[in-house]
């Protein structure tokens, strides 16, 4: 193939064509090469394949519908997801201040037979068993169901909240038929959370940040392997690896050009990179419109696998742009600060605003910070934290920008 100079104009033009074709003709990407992994991914024609979910004996769709969008007014999205075999639906007590769960409940009320086809997941940000019970009962009411397939404790940064009292509560909730599986989600200190959870015998599932930037980290590889060995079902989120700093536009264009010539977009390639790890049962993706749902579904249906060269290119891109991405290892930077402000959390809020375009959510999360935390963010000397940061992030500048943009 003749090499092409990838200017911004011809990349955007060609990427648009590739994206359109991936939506219209899923599974027919250029140069599709079947391999042994396809047999394990077999599914009904036109439907997203399923994968085993840890030791549970349950198979889940390898693409999960993230519930952080206006579900009450987008019921067609749920109907289309179901038709395409995207039957792992993820929501939380807090999403849309409860409207996400209510929207799914609205759908089940209209189509009660659909509930049997859906692997339904919700979450609570509480840690006390009584509070967990309160949130679970409220979620069941909103979702118009008697049970959820998986209940997560939301956004843990360590396994300390996973106490014996919580274990006993989860066992009672299972015995009462209110939940089938129990686990947690984590955005920060993921490696240590996964390693500790793998030693517990009662954690069924974990949702964690995992993408082409993190998958080559030896600690992450060991943590994922430990969970796989323990039979814990793993769901990846934030798989696009978008950061807090805009970097490497030329590198991004070159990366995009490589994948567009192969018949799929860089967005789809990053999904495929995660799916290439059989330990990952599903990818939870925010798909607030039909275009993204169809493009992601096309990537799941397509039998083209990334080559070793593709993976090297992604790893090279990750290295070139590493100074723009926070990996969530909050203990490293925060331990260098006198008042230990929640730097890793604020980095995540910046990501919501700058990469997801979800300014409302980012501001809402930032507004929950205490006055003392905001003061600490404004007054901290970040020199030592920046010296320790393995990504080389300009932490001080980013915290000042967060105060200005979100405060």
DSSP characters over 206-227: EEEE--TTTTT-HHHHHHHHHH
What tens digit of pLDDT does each residue of 392-403 get? 999 999 999 999
State the average pLDDT over residues 204-208.
98
Structure tokens at 341: 């402000």
**Averaged pLDDT, 106-120:** 98
Task: Say how many C-beta atoms besides its own lie within 10 A of residue 184's C-beta.
Answer: 22
Residue 39 has pLDDT above 50, yes or no: no
Pairwise pLDDT comparison (348 vs 159), residue with the higher score: 159
Q: What is the pLDDT of residue 12?
A: 37
- Predicted pLDDT of residue 262: 85
- For residue range 332-368, what is the model confidence (pLDDT) as tens digits? 999 999 888 899 999 999 988 988 788 988 999 999 9
Q: According to the model, what pLDDT value does residue 407 have?
A: 87
- Supply angle C-alpha 314, 320, 321, rounded to 5: 90
pTM, entire model: 0.86
Contact 22, 35 (CB under 8 A): no
Instruction: Dig out the tokens for 363 from the structure.
Output: 């501001």
Mean per-residue pLDDT of the chain = 88
pLDDT at 249: 65
Position 43 scores a pLDDT of 66
What's the pLDDT score for residue 355? 83
- At residue 245 the predicted structure's pLDDT band, cuts being 50, 70 and 90, is low
Mean pLDDT of 69-75: 93
For 367-395, the pLDDT digits (tens) are 999 999 999 999 999 999 999 999 999 99
Q: Kindly report, residue by residue over 291-320, the tens digit of the pLDDT.
A: 999 999 999 999 889 999 999 999 998 988
In the block, residue with structure tokens 């290119």: 313
Please tell me the predicted confidence (pLDDT) of residue 6: 41
Looking at residue 42, what is its pLDDT?
55
Q: Boundaries of CATH 3.20.20.100 in the chain?
A: 34-307
**pLDDT bracket for residue 130 (50, 70, 90):** very high
**Residue 10: pLDDT over 60:** no
Nearest alpha carbon to residue 93 among 50, 154, 175, 17: 154
What's the CATH superfamily of 34-307? NADP-dependent oxidoreductase domain (3.20.20.100)
């Amino acid at each position: 193939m003749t090499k092409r100079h990838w200017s911004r104009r011809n990349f955007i033009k060609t990427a648009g064509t590739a994206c359109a074709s991936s939506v219209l003709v899923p599974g027919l990407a250029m140069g599709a090469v079947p391999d042994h992994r396809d047999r394990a991914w077999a599914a009904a024609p036109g439907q997203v394949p399923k994968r085993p979910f840890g030791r549970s004996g349950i198979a889940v769709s390898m693409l999960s519908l993230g519930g952080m969008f206006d579900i009450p007014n987008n019921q067609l999205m749920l109907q289309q997801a179901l038709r395409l075999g995207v039957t792992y639906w993820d929501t939380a007590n807090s999403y849309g201040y409860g409207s996400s769960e209510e929207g799914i409940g609205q759908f089940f009320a209209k189509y009660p037979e659909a509930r049997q086809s859906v692997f339904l997941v919700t979450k609570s940000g509480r840690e006390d068993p009584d509070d967990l019970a309160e949130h679970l009962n409220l979620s069941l009411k909103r979702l118009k169901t008697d049970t959820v397939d998986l209940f997560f404790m939301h956004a843990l940064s360590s396994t300390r909240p996973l106490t014996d009292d919580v274990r006993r509560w989860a066992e009672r909730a299972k015995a009462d038929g209110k939940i089938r599986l129990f686990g947690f989600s984590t955005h920060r200190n993921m490696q240590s959370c996964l390693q500790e959870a793998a030693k517990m015998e009662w954690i069924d599932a974990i949702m964690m940040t995992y993408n082409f930037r993190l998958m080559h980290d030896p600690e992450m590889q060991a943590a994922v392997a430990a969970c796989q060995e323990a039979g814990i079902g793993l769901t990846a989120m934030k798989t696009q690896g978008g950061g807090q700093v805009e970097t490497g536009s030329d590198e991004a264009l070159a990366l995009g050009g490589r994948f567009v010539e192969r018949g799929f977009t860089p967005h789809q390639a990053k999904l495929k990179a995660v799916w290439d790890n059989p330990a990952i049962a599903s990818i939870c993706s925010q798909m607030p419109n039909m275009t993204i749902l169809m493009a992601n579904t096309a990537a799941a249906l397509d039998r083209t696998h990334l080559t070793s060269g593709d993976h090297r290119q992604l790893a090279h891109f990750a290295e070139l742009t590493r100074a723009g991405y926070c990996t969530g290892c909050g203990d490293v930077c925060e331990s260098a600060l006198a008042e230990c402000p929640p730097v890793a959390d604020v980095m995540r809020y910046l990501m919501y605003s700058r990469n997801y375009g979800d300014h409302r959510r980012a501001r809402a999360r930032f507004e929950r910070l205490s006055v003392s935390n905001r003061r600490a963010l404004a007054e901290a000397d970040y020199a030592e934290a920046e010296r320790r940061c393995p990504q080389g992030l300009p932490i001080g500048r980013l915290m000042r920008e967060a105060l200005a943009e979100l405060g």
